[in-house]
Structure 1
Amino acid sequence: MHGRSDGSNVKKLGMPFLAALAIAALSASAAAGAWVQSRYSRPASLSVAQERVINNQVSRDSAYIRENVNLLAQTVGELQAKLIAMGGLSKRVADVAGISYTDPEIKASLDHAQPVMDYINDGPGDSMSAEGLGRQLDLMQQQIDEQKDWFAMLDLVLTKRAGTEARLPTLMPVNYPYLSSSFGWRLNPVTGRRSMHEGLDFAAPKGAPIYAASGGVVSEAGVQAGYGKMVEINHGNGLVTRYAHASVLDVKAGDLVEKGQMIARVGSSGRSTGSHLHFEVRMAGHPLDPKLFLAKPEVSRHLVADASSHVKAILPEVR
C-alpha cells in the first residue's frame, strides 16, 4: 500500500518539476542568444581617416548648397527690381497715353497691385533660406501675374481708344478746303428763309474726288430727296457721315470702305445752286459740326491759289 502511494506521489511531483526545468532551459537559451547577438552585432567603427573624408565631403556639399542658394537669392533680387521698374514703366505709359488712374476699367487693377516684399538680406554673410526663397518666388509669381493683368488691361484700353479714334471722321473729304457755307443757322439760298444748315459745304469743281473721312460700311448710296446723289457711311456706335450732291457714286450699299478711299465725285445734284460737296457728321441721328472732327488741312499757298480759280464762280449754298 505504501509502495503505490509513493510511486503515485513521485509521478505527481515529476510533472511540475519537468515543466520548471524546461522553462529554465528556455530562459538560459534566450539569454545566451541575446549575449551572442550583442557580442557579434556591434556596428563596425570608422577609422579616423574615413571620418575625415566623410566630414570633408559634407562640408563641401554644404558650401556648394549655400553658394547656389545665395546666387539664386541674388537673381531673385534682380528680378524683383525689374518687376518694380516694370510697374513704374506701365504707370508712366498710362500717364503719357492720357489714361487716368481713376478710369473704372483699370482702377481695380491698380488698387490690387502691391509691391513685392523684399525678403533678401543685405547684411554681410547673410543668405536666403530655402523657405525664404520659396516665399519670395511665390510673391514674384503673384507680382508677375499682376503685371500681366495690368499690361493686358492697358493694352485693352489703348486698343479701344485707338479703335474709337480711328472711327472718327478726321480726314478732309475733298482737296478743296474752301468753305462756301458753315454749320449752323443761315438763310437758305433756295427758299430764302432762315434754316439750320446741318453740315459743311466745300466749294469744288465738278468731278473732283470725294474721299471717305473715316473707314466704315456704306449704309446708303443713291439719290435722296434734297441731297441728290449721296453716300452715307456708318462708322459704328451711331456715328455716320454723309457726302451729298455728287455727280458720280463709286460705291454701293454694303461696301466696306477705308479711310481716304474715293467714294464719289463732286457734282450739283439735288437741291443745289452749284458744284460743291455737302458734308455731314451725325451721332445717333443728331447733326454735329464736322469741324469738331476734321483735322486742320495742311494746304500750301500754291494749292490754294490754284483752287481759288475753280471756286470763285461756284460759291454754292445748299438746302
Structure 2
Amino acid sequence: MQVIITDAWMAKSRAFHLSGAKLILSLLGLSFVLMLVSAGLYHWVFLKGAREGWPIVGSLVRLVVKDEFAQRDRYMRENIEVLAKKLGEMQAKMLQLESLGERVSGLAGVNPADIKIKPGQGGALVNGRDLTLQELDATLADLDLLANQRTDVMTVIESRLFEQKIKKMMVPTQAPVHDANLGSTFGWRIDPITGRSALHTGLDFPSEPGTPIYSAAGGVVVTQEFHSQYGNMVEIDHGNDLITRYAHASKVFVKKGDLIKRGQKIAEVGTTGRSTGPHLHFEVLVQGVPQDPQKFLNAGRHLPATQVAQAKAPAAQR
C-alpha cells in the first residue's frame, strides 16, 4: 500500500510505502491510542461531573456507589451469618467440654466449686435476629475467656490425676515374686528354729533359688547390706514413711541411693541369713512399724484371693 502526502500548492509531495505487516501494526497502534484517549476522557468526565454535581453524571455515580455498598453489605451480612453459625457450634462444644470437665473433676477429686469460673454465656447467638459486629466480637471474647478457664480447670485436673498416679505407683501393691505361692503369713506363729511363738513381721514366698525379686512400688533404695537375720537385704523408701524390705536374697542388683521403678528387678531369691530354705521374706513398714503386706497386695489385686487361701507352705521359713 502506498500513501502520498502533498502540500496545499502541490509543490511538494512525500510517499510512504506500507506493507501488510506495517499497516496492521499502524492500525493497532492507532486503536490503542484511541482507547487511551477515550478512557482518559471518560475518567475525566466522571470525576469532574461527580465533583461539580452534573445532573446526569452525578446520578450515575451515586447509583454505582449505592450498588457497590449494597454488594459489600450483603457480602458482610452473609459472612456474619456463617460466623454466627460456627460460633454457635463452638458454644455447644464448650458446654459439652464443661460437662465433661465436671465429670472428670469428680474422678480426680477436684470440686468444681473451688475453681472460680465464669458461667457460660452466649444469648446473642440465639436471640432470633441478625448479629452486629460488636455482638460477634463480644461473644468471641466471652468464648476466649471461657476457653482459658476450661484450660485452667483441665490443668488442675491433670495435675491431680498425675499426683494420684504417682501416689499409686509409690504404694507397694505389686507382688514381689511372680507366680509364687504364699508361705508363712503375717502374724504370730511357731518359730521354725526356736520352736517358740514369735511374731512373723512379713510374708514368705517359697521359690527356686535365682527367682527374680521385683520392687513392689517405685522408690529409693535406703539400705542394701548383709544382715545377720535377713541375709542379703534391700530396703526401699516409697515416701510418706513407707518402706518395703526384701530379705534372704542370693544376689542383689541395686545399691543404696538407686532410684527404683515399680516392678524393677532388684534381686534374686536365696536362703541367706536366718533361713531354712530358699524364699523371699517381704515386709512393709509404716513409720518403722511392720504392717501386714497382704493388705497392700490385695489392694493391687495382683494376688488372687483363692491363691492366697490355698497357699500354705510349711512354716519352716521366715
Name the residue aligned to 1:45: 53
With normalisation by structure 1, the TM-score equals 0.72
Per-residue displacement from partner, 1:229-276 (whole Å, max 9, x unpaired)? 111112233322110122222222222333333222222222233322
| 1:231–1:244 CA contact under 8 A, matched in 2 | yes
More off after superposition, 201-210 vs 184-193:
184-193
Task: Supply the distance in 1 between the matched residues of 2:265 and 2:75 (Cα, whole angstroms).
Answer: 73
Per-residue displacement from partner, 1:93-124 (whole Å, max 9, x unpaired)? 344xx33343xxx5422x5252223211442x
Q: Give the letter for the 1:169 counterpart.
A: P
Name the residue aligned to 1:232: 235
Counterpart pick for 1:151 among 119, 141, 154: 154
Matches within 5 A, 1:93-104: 93-95=104-106, 98-102=107-111
With normalisation by structure 2, the TM-score equals 0.72
Task: Supply the distance in 2 between the matched residues of 1:134 and 1:218 (Cα, whole angstroms).
Answer: 59
Name the residue aligned to 2:138: 135
Unaligned runs of 5+ residues in structure 2 are 1-50
Matches within 5 A, 1:83-102: 83-95=94-106, 98-102=107-111
Counterpart pick for 1:81 among 74, 86, 92: 92
More off after superposition, 198-207 vs 153-162:
198-207
Name the residue aligned to 1:296: 302
Counterpart pick for 1:116 among 100, 104, 121: 121
1:255–1:53 CA distance, 2 compared to 1 (3 A): same
Moved over 4 A (4+): 298-301
Q: Does 1:174 align with 2:177?
A: yes
| 1:274–1:315 CA contact under 8 A, matched in 2 | no
Name the residue aligned to 1:277: 280
Per-residue displacement from partner, 1:47-86 (whole Å, max 9, x unpaired)? 3222222222222222222222222222211111111111
Counterpart pick for 1:243 among 241, 246, 261: 246
TM-aligned CA deviation for residue 168 of structure 1:
2.1
| 2:212–2:265 CA contact under 8 A, matched in 1 | yes
Unaligned runs of 5+ residues in structure 1 are 1-42, 302-307
Counterpart pick for 1:185 among 162, 184, 188: 188
Task: Supply the distance in 2 between the matched residues of 1:282 and 1:300 (Cα, whole angstroms).
Answer: 25
Name the residue aligned to 1:263: 266
Q: Give the letter for the 1:132 counterpart.
A: E
Say what the alpha-carbon RMSD is for the aligned residues.
2.8
Name the residue aligned to 1:8: none
